[in-house]
Amino acid sequence: MREPDSAWSRNRLGSCKGAEVTASAGMACELIRFMSPDDANIAGNVHGGTILKMIEEAGAIISTRHCNSQPGEPCVAALARVERTDFLSPMCIGEVATVSAEITYTSRRSVEVQVNVLSENILTGAKKVTNRATLWYVPLSLKNVDKVLEVPPVQYMRKEQEEEGKKRYEQQKLERLETKQRNGDMIFPVINPDPYTVGYSQSSLIHLVGPSDCTLLGFVHGGVTMKLMDEVAGIVAARHCKTNIVTASVDAINFHEKIKKGCVITISGRMTFTSNKSMEIEVFVDADPFVDEPQERYRAVSAFFTYVSLSKEGKPLPVPQLVTETEDEKKRFEEGKGRYLQTKAKRQVHLQPLAQQ
């Protein structure tokens, strides 16, 4: 359930560094917010969707500010993609979240923003990093929402920074195209499904897009969409294992089309893969435009969420294995297994240098 906007405004303390834009890589923005019971599940863990929404808000502020740093047509930065986001440590009720965002690369028409989330126990002073994320934004004209404007260039401290950023830009462009090409799937209800099957846990949520969900341009905030997606993915995970569940990671979230105010959106989730300790859930967002310009339903956003099952003490629990019935389900399971093994291999490569220190 979405938190009331008044509560969001009350509980958030924001301070943005670099208000005088210097057009250099590393310009930063910081948001600080107290975590209330409205932000958490019944076990007291803050919803992954709440954190994703804060991450997106910080990214939108800094990228919009940068894109308006030079004279020209006013614009608002729209979220195009979120790279894989790992939830490194749970955040709990009563902790203070500090979300720090900085611009790390710009192409001609897009901005890369890297975000870190830190949680603080204000009783003990203990701090820990809970999330790291990379987001891509594009500047849309306030006069013509279909017009993507050029991004002011940034200055890099080292030539390598620009070269590395360009590689990341080309890679995400390719991955976005591949995702869009395989986005024709639909999720349909299953009558009397057996436990632990795909149909047993699959879930959908329908939401009417209102003014409070939208930017100045009348399109949905990326953070609002991600929060709804996490909510549906969480329901799927909880239905499957019937325990406390938390978001472990989110694979790349691709925003294919804008969602306009007045649309009815359907957020659908289904389980695609289970390992011994984790669950992969595919989530789609489909939009039905009913106001102003009626048109056919379209796929707006897609992503894969990974959840883990926890005991009452917060310890990892084994995950019941997913029962696949159709050829399509078996194919998606194998694809999910491939993503799981690839991520596991990358993590081991990353940890090897640390182990040698």
The CATH number of the domain holding residue 223 is 3.10.129.10
Domain count, the chain: 2
> Using CA atoms, how far apart are residues 287 and 303, in angstroms rounded to an integer?
15
Q: Are 169 and 107 in contact (CB under 8 A)?
A: yes
Assess if residue 186 is contained within a domain.
Answer: no
Domain membership of residue 197 (yes or no) is yes
Phi, psi for 253 (deg, rounded to 5): -100, 120
- Let me know if residue 203 belongs to a domain: yes
Does residue 15 lie within any of the structural domains? Answer: no
Same domain, 152 and 217: no
Confidence of residue 77 (pLDDT cuts 50, 70, 90): very high
Asked whether residue 65 falls in the same domain as residue 98, the answer is: yes
The reply to whether 97 and 208 lie within a common domain is no
pLDDT tens digits for 113-160?
A: 999 999 999 999 999 999 999 999 999 999 998 899 999 999 898 999
The structure's pTM equals 0.84
> Which residues, other chains included, contact 64 with Cβ-Cβ below 8 Å and sequence gap of 6+?
75, 76, 77, 137, 139
User: Residue 351: inside a domain, yes or no?
Assistant: no
- Domain edge (last residue) among 169, 204, 224: 169
Query: Tens digit of pLDDT for each residue in 41-52?
Result: 888 999 999 999
Q: CA-CA distance, 272 to 336, in Å (whole number)? A: 6
Same domain, yes or no, for 76 and 136? yes
Domain C-terminal end among 137, 169, 201: 169
Asked if residues 49 and 56 have their Cβ atoms less than 8 Å apart, the reply is no
For residues 151 and 198, membership in a common domain is answered with no
Same domain membership, residue 152 and residue 45 = yes
CA distance 281 to 195: 16
Residue-number span of the structural domain to which 108 is assigned:
27-169
229 located within any domain: yes
Residue 173 banded pLDDT, cuts 50, 70, 90: confident
The residues that are catalytic are 41, 230
214 shares its domain with 256: yes
Q: Are 135 and 239 within one domain?
A: no
| 142 and 212 within one domain | no
